[in-house]
Chains A and B, each alone.
Chain A
Amino acid sequence: MAMSQIKPALVAVPGSDIAVSTRNITKFYGYVEALRDLSLEFPRGQLTSLLGPSGCGKTTLLKIIGGLLEPTSGEVEVNGQTVTGPGPDRAFVFQDFALLPWASVMRNVAFGLEMRGVGRSEREDIAARYIKEVGLAGFEKAYPHQLSGGMRQRVGLARALSVDAQVLLMDEPFSAVDEQTRRKFQEDLLSLVQNENKTFIFVTHSIEEAVYVSDQIAILLPRPSRVSEIIRPSNFREKGVDNIRRDPEYLDIVDQIWSSLRSYVE
Chain B
Amino acid sequence: MTVFGYRLPGMSSLLIWGLLWEVVGQLDLTFFIPALSEVISTLFTVIQTSAFQVALAETAYAFLAGVFFAIVIGIPIGILMGKNRLIDEMLLPWVNVFLSAPLTALVPVLMVLFGFGMKSIIITTTLFAIWIIILNARAGVKQINRSLVEMARSFGASPVDAFTKIYFWAALPEILGGVRIGVIRAVKGVIIGQLLISIVGFGALFELYSANFLMSHFWAVLIVLFALAFTISEFLAYLERRVSYYAAKR
Q: Say yes or no for B231: interface residue by CB 8 A criterion.
A: no
Q: Say yes or no for B87: interface residue by CB 8 A criterion.
A: no
For A88, what are the chain B residues with a Cβ–Cβ distance below 8 Å? 156
Q: In B152-168, which residues have CB < 8 Å from any A CB?
A: 152-157, 161, 165-166
For B151, what are the chain A residues with a Cβ–Cβ distance below 8 Å? 92, 94, 98
Q: In A104-127, which residues have CB < 8 Å from any B CB?
A: 111-112, 114-116
CA distance A150 to B231 in the complex (A): 43
For A101, what are the chain B residues with a Cβ–Cβ distance below 8 Å? 246, 249-250
Q: Say yes or no for A6: interface residue by CB 8 A criterion.
A: no
Docked-complex contact A144 and B156, CB < 8 angstroms: no
Docked-complex contact B249 and A98, CB < 8 angstroms: no
Docked-complex contact B161 and A115, CB < 8 angstroms: yes
Closest to B250 in A: A101
Q: Say yes or no for B51: interface residue by CB 8 A criterion.
A: no
For B152, what are the chain A residues with a Cβ–Cβ distance below 8 Å? 111, 115
Docked-complex contact A144 and B249, CB < 8 angstroms: yes
Q: Say yes or no for B130: interface residue by CB 8 A criterion.
A: no
For A111, what are the chain B residues with a Cβ–Cβ distance below 8 Å? 152, 155
Instruction: Mark B221-246 against chain A: 1 for CB-CB distance below 8 A, else 0.
Output: 00000000000000000000001011
Interface size class of A (residues with CB under 8 A): 20 to 34
For B156, what are the chain A residues with a Cβ–Cβ distance below 8 Å? 86-88, 115-116
For A264, what are the chain B residues with a Cβ–Cβ distance below 8 Å? none
Docked-complex contact B147 and A96, CB < 8 angstroms: yes
Interface size class of B (residues with CB under 8 A): 20 to 34
A97 to chain B, nearest CB (A): 8
- A98-B148, A98-B150, A100-B169 given; A163·B245 CB < 8 A: no
Q: Say yes or no for B172: interface residue by CB 8 A criterion.
A: yes
Docked-complex contact B145 and A96, CB < 8 angstroms: yes
For B147, what are the chain A residues with a Cβ–Cβ distance below 8 Å? 94-96, 98
Docked-complex contact A115 and B246, CB < 8 angstroms: no
CA distance A91 to B246 in the complex (A): 25
Q: Say yes or no for A31: interface residue by CB 8 A criterion.
A: no
- A98-B147, A98-B148, A100-B169 given; A145·B155 CB < 8 A: no
Instruction: Mark B166-193 against chain A: 1 for CB-CB distance below 8 A, else 0.
Output: 1001001000000000000000000000
For B172, what are the chain A residues with a Cβ–Cβ distance below 8 Å? 102
Docked-complex contact B154 and A91, CB < 8 angstroms: yes
CA distance A94 to B151 in the complex (A): 8
Q: Say yes or no for A143: interface residue by CB 8 A criterion.
A: yes
For A233, what are the chain B residues with a Cβ–Cβ distance below 8 Å? none
Q: In A52-104, which residues have CB < 8 Å from any B CB?
A: 63, 66-68, 86-88, 90-92, 94-96, 98, 100-102
- A selection of 7 A-B contacts at a CB cut-off of 8 Å is A66-B154, A96-B147, A101-B250, A102-B169, A114-B165, A115-B155, A115-B157
The 8 closest A-B pairs by CB, nearest first: A101-B246, A98-B151, A112-B155, A115-B155, A92-B154, A98-B147, A145-B249, A115-B157
Given contact pairs A90-B154, A115-B161, enumerate 17 new A-B contacts (beta carbons under 8 Å): A68-B150, A86-B156, A92-B151, A94-B151, A95-B147, A96-B147, A98-B147, A98-B150, A98-B151, A100-B169, A101-B246, A101-B250, A102-B169, A102-B172, A111-B155, A115-B157, A145-B245
List residues of chain B with CB under 8 Å of any chain A CB. 145, 147-148, 150-157, 161, 165-166, 169, 172, 243, 245-246, 249-250
